[in-house]
Amino acid sequence: MNNKILLVDDDHNILSSYRRLLRKKFDLVTVDSGAKGITALQEQGPFAVVVSDYRMPEMDGVQFLSAARQVSPDTVRVMLTGQADFQATMDAVNKGNIFRFLTKPCPTEYLMNALTAAVEQYRLITAERELLDNTLKGIIKLLIDILSMVNPVAFSQSSRLIKTVRSLANRLNIKEKWEVELAALLSQIGCVTIPGEILQKKYQGLKLSESENEMFLAHPKTGRDLIENIPRLEGIAEGIAYQMKQFDGTGIPEDNRQGKDIPLIARILKVALDFDTHITAGKSYEQAFELMYNQRQWYDPDVLAALEADILNIEKGFVVRAIGLSDVLSGMILADNIEDPNGVVLIPKGYEITDVLKMRLSNYARFGRIVEPIKVIEQIKSF
């Protein structure tokens, strides 16, 4: 069991006293400032408990424990102070989620009991998470195993999607990448109700009958129904339900959601699924993207731009954006050649737009000698 405790106090005599009193029962680390405490949490953790003095220079106990909560949310936080300050107590509880608030001088037995209770609280928190994580992993494995046995065609597609969505998530700087990857893996779980021969026809690009197509279009809702009650998968379930929804609001489900109101997971799945469908049908990466670009109203432009950047092997964290000449700014990097209507290259890709080049482009445009849109490389913001 983890009984590691971080003690933070700017008084070295008090730290020495803590070490004498507590070292036999707990694994102690002591530091004399909030800044050092944050470093210790990052480099020497995980800690079961952190105990902080309230009155410290530069960073007081409330500020430190609030920051500690961000760095190590599972670590149980205890405030120790000699100030009978009610407002400080309230601030500590509200900003740092304090488990105990102790006053100096604190009797040894009382301090020992408080720390023992804090360690037990940490054990309960981590045990619950481990139970949930293991249960969740077991359920997910069961669902995937069922899909692979019942409908290997659908399982094969979901396996292929992982690589694409992982690359898109990385390029788009998405924080919760695991959700997108798991959504891809579970995206076809609703297909367990569809006969394999119908899926085979669909993936080969063959025409489905009306009843077969109706059955196929129902699988996102079936997938959502199968997983929406699993803890922590609610957002993934919604993303799966909307994976066929088009950015312009068309597609299924038939409701009023469109654009950014569609879940981000669904917008990524839509791009990845359609791209995979074209590739499976024998199209090259470039041909598949061209088909999708011609129907770009169906896709989130950020996700489509990330896909194009991936195909062009542009540095991670950047996407390709198609813009009009009026939106071109100095400093932008060209992702593709700028050509005239006859295919003559005016400015090759890779060039940085300067004021002089921009003026030159404007002059070309006056005589209708530039093909728009113009593709530039742009750094993407985090989602």
CATH of residue 76's domain is 3.40.50.2300
End residue of a domain, out of 311, 332, 362: 311
Residues 92 and 58 in one domain: yes
Boundary residue ending a domain (68, 92, 127): 127
Residue 375's domain comprises: 315-383
- Residue 105, domain member (yes or no): yes
Same domain membership, residue 327 and residue 288: no
Do 185 and 270 lie in one domain? The reply is yes
* CATH (domain of 188): 1.10.3210.10
What kind and span of H or E run contains 121? helix 108-150
Distance CA 186, CA 265 (A): 12
Is 146 within the bounds of a domain? no
pLDDT string in tens for the chain (383-residue length): 678 999 999 888 888 888 888 888 889 999 999 999 999 999 998 999 999 988 888 888 888 988 898 889 889 999 887 765 656 666 666 555 788 888 877 888 888 888 999 898 888 888 766 766 666 667 777 777 777 777 777 777 787 888 899 889 988 888 888 888 888 888 888 888 888 788 878 877 788 898 998 999 999 999 999 888 887 788 999 999 999 999 999 999 999 999 999 999 999 999 999 998 888 878 888 899 999 999 999 999 999 988 988 887 776 667 777 888 888 888 778 878 888 888 888 888 777 788 777 887 888 777 767 878 888 877 666 56
In a domain, 68, yes or no: yes
Closest by alpha carbon to 168, among 377, 308, 296? 308
In a shared domain, residues 155 and 269: yes
Residues 237 and 294 in one domain: yes
Peptide bond into 373 cis (omega under 30): yes
Burial environment of residue 169 by CB neighbours within 10 A (0 to 12, 13 to 18, 19 or more): buried
CA distance 383 to 378: 15
Does residue 144 sit within a domain? no
- 374 and 232 within one domain: no
Spatial CA neighbour of 166 closest among 299, 310, 290:
310
Determine how β-strand 27-31 pairs with β-strand 76-81: unpaired
pTM of the entire structure? 0.61
When divided into structural domains, the chain yields a total of 3
CA gap 121, 320 in Å, rounded: 49
pLDDT at residue 376, as a whole number? 81
Cα–Cα distances in angstroms (integers) from residue 4 to residues 8, 46, 78, 119, 156, in the given order: 13, 8, 14, 8, 46
In a domain, 118, yes or no: yes
Q: Please, are residues 78 and 52 in contact by the beta-carbon 8 Å criterion?
A: yes
At residue 55, the pLDDT reads 83
Regarding whether 26 and 14 lie in a shared domain, the answer is: yes
Q: What are phi and psi of 50, to 5 degrees?
A: -125, 130
> Do residue 275 and residue 359 come from a single domain?
no
For residue 135, is it within any domain? Answer: no
Note whether 268 and 119 are same-domain residues.
Answer: no
50 found inside a domain? yes
Within a domain: 132: no
Task: Kindly state whether residues 186 and 232 are assigned to the same domain.
Answer: yes
Residues 83, 218: one domain? no
The answer to whether residues 288 and 357 belong to one domain is no
224 is written with which tokens?
A: 């959502």
Closest CA to 186 of 245, 134, 226: 226
